[in-house]
Structure 1
Amino acid sequence: MNREELAEFLRSRRARVTPREVGLPESGRRRTPGLRRQEVAQLAGMSIDYYIRLEQGRGPHPSRQVLNALSRALMLSADERAYLFHLAGQALEPERLRGDVPRSILHLIAFLEEVPAYVLDAKYDILAWNPMAAALMGGLDSRPRDDLNVIRWVFRSPDLAEHLSDEEKGRFARAAVADLRWAAGRYPGDAGIQALVAEMLALSPEFAALWAEHEVKVRREQRKQIAHPAVGVIEAICQVLPVPDREDLRLVLYTTEPGSPSHQALRRLREVTLSS
């Protein structure tokens, strides 16, 4: 059980919920935004002393019943609820990433000859990719294995702006950090995730600011506008799919609207890839 992280998460989520959202009267001036501790305790059906101890990082090990009550009181999303359970030590999933890619998934991305596809683990390391992904993202084949982390690219790469606009980068950065926080809660014993978070906190004020917001959300689908030097702008739908029986892995696909200029651009990119 991670008492310190649990306490911080509860405080951040309490500050986000307004009395009106949970059906409480908004009477009197409030010194801080969100619900009062007493209101959360009331909504969750527990004593105020018990809840205060949880927020101060000195509470007992909460039961699943207590965690479910807090999830309802704080209006947590499904991803946030799962994260809360992991922080409280109630999760039964493995605590470490495996790092291998099933052979069937390797065959699948190789078969997708017109669709950029790659496999990402929960730490945002790219573990495998097809030629179209290498052509779209640039330099995957020439990078050393320890330099294939998307989080590091987002917050440390000086040339990322050449491919994504500031708005695109900001939207992706926020989604990636919320997803990484979910992974940190799901795999609390993974030294790689812990080291990555510590590195980014030390090197990137932007990452540190987003991490401090305690947003938790698994990344699933996002639209991206990619400026490719060979074929121009590509409007793509980035689909992030869980690998069956391996929730530490995601299959990432870049698709486009059939017949659209972006679809034609991807086809030209494949021709360039085949001719090179």
Structure 2
Amino acid sequence: MASMEFGDFLRARRAQVTPDQVGLPTTGRRRVAGLRREEVAALVGLSVDYYIRLEQGRERHPSTQVLSSIADALQLDHDACQHLFRIAGFAPGLRTSARPERIDPDLRQLMDGWLHTPTLLLGRAYDVLARNRLSAALWRPFTHSDNLLLNVFLDDAAPSFYKDWRAATVNTVAGFRTAAGAALDDSRIEDIVAHLRAASPEFVEIWERNDARGKAADIKTFIHPDVGELTLRMQAFDVRSAPGQQLVVYHAEPGTSSARALDLLGSLAATADAVS
């Protein structure tokens, strides 16, 4: 069990649950945000000393029953519960390699064939491993790096590109933490976290909340400098031939202004490619 990560996760999630949410009375002045340790211990049916040892990393072998009870007490959703079990050592993680991640050539060919659908291939550390032409046009305002997480926090274009930049940062960090929990000893992930800890106070604040939530169906609104506002639906798919990689696909509702803006963006990209 990664004791420090496990303890940090418990403390952060405990701070996000109020006594009212779990049916406990709120009397007197409270010194901590969320639940106290003794309150979580009582909800789970543990001694206070045992629960403190869990948070401090001195107890390294909690049972699955204890973990399930903690997940219930802290009101963890499915993704956060899976993350808890992973960092406790009860779910298999990805054994990473120092070699660069490879792109399945058949998958790349499929992406390139989607002329009207922006598509990204993300690596374990949210590096953009591949993108099709329309995706390159959509993300053209970003010049900081080829890493999604670094761009969201450090690229000057990000706050104006996302209509709700705060929501984008929170969702991206939650997805990244889930990916990080599944990848064992990935130095690229560790380097990105260390870099953002030093460069972005906003990242530090969100990272320390310990939200863990995989990418799922979502709706995002972008403000693109070439075509204006686009509201796109997003779907993310695990790549079976390369565990840890994700295929992220965006599309617009047919007949909407966003669909017309996406078509215009595709025309501009095609014209730019023809000129170059």
**1:64-213 map, 5 Å:** 64-96=64-96, 99-138=101-140, 147-165=145-163, 168-213=164-209
* Runs ≥4 residues deviating over 3 A: 23-29, 244-247
Distance 2:129 2:263 in 1: 25
User: Match of 1:236, as an amino acid?
Assistant: L
Distance 1:64 1:245 in 2: 30
Counterpart residue number, 2:36: 36
Q: CA-atom RMSD, angstroms?
A: 2.3
Distance 1:93 1:204 in 2: 28
* 2:56 is aligned with 1:56: yes
1:46-83, CA deviations, whole angstroms, 9 ceiling, x for partnerless residues? 22221111112212322222212211221111111111
Task: Give the Å deviation of 1:264.
Answer: 1.2
* 2:18 is aligned with 1:18: yes
Q: 1:63 to 1:159 in 2, by over 3 A?
A: same
User: Is the CA contact (8 Å cut-off) linking 2:104 and 2:241 kept in structure 1?
Assistant: no
Distance 1:187 1:248 in 2: 7
Distance 2:12 2:113 in 1: 44
Task: Give the Å deviation of 1:28.
Answer: 4.4
- Within the candidate set 249, 259, 263, 1:263 is matched to 259
Give aligned-pair identity as a percent. 37
1:209-249, CA deviations, whole angstroms, 9 ceiling, x for partnerless residues? 11111111112233333233333322222322323464512
Counterpart residue number, 1:250: 246
- Within the candidate set 208, 215, 219, 2:211 is matched to 215
Q: 1:162 to 1:32 in 2, by over 3 A?
A: closer
Task: Give the Å deviation of 1:29.
Answer: 4.0
Distance 1:233 1:15 in 2: 37
User: Match of 1:116, as an amino acid?
Assistant: P
Q: 1:21 to 1:263 in 2, by over 3 A?
A: same
Task: Give the Å deviation of 1:162.
Answer: 4.6
Unaligned runs of 5+ in 1: none
Q: 1:160 to 1:21 in 2, by over 3 A?
A: closer
Distance 2:18 2:226 in 1: 49
Find the residue that maps to 1:118 and give its secondary structure. Answer: strand
Q: Number of residues paired by the alignment?
A: 270
Distance 1:230 1:130 in 2: 18
Unaligned runs of 5+ in 2: none
Distance 1:40 1:215 in 2: 18
Find the residue that maps to 1:16 and give its secondary structure. Answer: coil
